[in-house]
Amino acid sequence: MGSERSYKQGSKSFWIYFKKNRLAMIGLVIIIIMFIIAGLTRFGLGIILTPYDPGQTNVSLKLSPPSFKHYLGTDHLGRDLYTRILYGSQISLSVGFVAVAISILIGILVGSISGYYGGWVDSLLMRFVDIMLCFPSFFLILTIVALLGPSLFKVMLVIGITSWMGTARFVRAEFLSLRERDFVQAARALGVKDSRIMFRHILPNALAPVFVTATLDVASAILVEAGLSFLGFGAQPPTPSWGNILTEGRTYIFDAWWLTVFPGFAILITVLSFNLVGEALRDALDPRLRGIR
């Protein structure tokens, strides 16, 4: 009963502190709006947001500037840019969350084993982490995707398996501090299996930094996907993504500025929102940082 009361009080104080960060609240609202847009376009309800189809061409209207009929203008094929940016949001968010889910799972597994067992197991796994961190992540991802061929699923998978090292280090640090606690020693004395101690008793107490890392990693994954799509290794035309919309617009950068400004602004706002929310989560979850601001 006491632990439940303290948990509720902790959750309440966390939310009160989080709400004080106005920029983070704005970022959270933007993220929720992005999810709604991505959900509507994903399940065929995009007509609620726009009357146009993202692949609908009309050459007579090509490179039309923003107007009341086409809010953000049209591209070189006469496609409505506003519609394509809306539909492109589902690609960016899908890649971000699937890739981060993969990286979080790998990071939790590696960090848990390393922090719980320590010794040579910890040394071996951490040296592998150090080796992975030596490679420039974007160029490593670009090389692997280039070898495997462009595919959205491959992009998600490759981003996930090349970005788990930070999560592993955070989880390892938490396990090192928690494995000697009384509740863990009591579980060992009762003969509880190591796997149950790790994932049932210790891991729930080590997830706070994982949430922060996941939020920030989503922003990084969105940027990587946009970069890969811009280079032609991500989502392939005619599927709209913010990266390949930028690629198509760079040829007309001096004649049709809206083809680069608006998708670039969409990437900026989305990434900035996730970063603001991630930093606010970090501050709210760490009592040592609450008195700084």
CA distance 204 to 232: 40
Calculate ∠ Cα 139-133-169, nearest 5°: 140
For residue 11, the model assigns a pLDDT of 57
Cα–Cα distance measured from residue 167 to residue 106, given in angstroms and rounded to the nearest whole number: 8
Q: Is residue 139 part of a domain?
A: yes
Q: Is residue 55 part of a domain?
A: no
Cis omega before residue 238 (within 30°)? Answer: yes
| Choice among 22-36, 236-250, 267-281 with the minimum mean pLDDT | 236-250
How many CA atoms, within 13 angstroms, populate the side-chain half-sphere of residue 217? 27
Q: Does 161 map to a domain?
A: yes
Q: What is the pLDDT of residue 8?
A: 47
pTM of the model: 0.86
Residue of 218 and 143 predicted with greater confidence = 218
For residue 279, give its domain range.
78-289
Give the tens place of pLDDT for each residue, 6-38.
444 455 677 777 888 889 999 999 999 999 999
**Neighbouring C-alpha atoms within 13 Å toward the C-beta of 129:** 23
Answer yes or no: are the C-beta atoms of 30 and 269 closer than 8 Å: yes
Q: For residue 270, tell me if it sits in a domain.
A: yes
211 exposed, middle or buried (CB, 10 Å; 0-12, 13-18, 19+)?
Answer: middle
Question: Residue 247 carries which side chain, given as an amino acid letter?
Answer: T
Q: Residue 43 to residues 36, 113, 153, 240: CA-CA distances in angstroms? A: 11, 40, 19, 16
Asked if residue 98 is part of any domain, the answer here is: yes
What is d(CA 141, CA 220) in angstroms, rounded to the nearest whole number?
Answer: 13
How much is the pLDDT for 286? 67
Specify the pLDDT at position 273: 95
Residue 182: give its domain's CATH number.
Answer: 1.10.3720.10
pLDDT band of 248, cuts 50, 70, 90 = confident
Counted domains in the chain: 1
Asked whether residue 200 is domain-assigned, the answer is yes
pLDDT tens digits for range 97-148: 999 999 999 999 999 999 999 889 999 999 999 998 888 878 888 888 888 8
Measured CA distances, 136 to 45, 144, 151 (Å): 40, 12, 21
> What confidence score (pLDDT) does residue 7 get?
40
Structural domain includes residue 68? no
Quote the pLDDT of residue 69. Answer: 92
73 found inside a domain = no
Q: Where are the alpha helices (DSSP H) in 118-203?
A: 119-134, 137-148, 152-161, 165-178, 182-189, 194-196
| φ, ψ (nearest 5 deg) of residue 245 | -65, -40
246-280 burial, b at 16+ Cβ within 10 Å, e below that, comes to bbbbeebeeebebbbebbeebbeebbebbbbbbbb
Q: Average of pLDDT values for 47-71? A: 91
For residue 148, the model assigns a pLDDT of 81
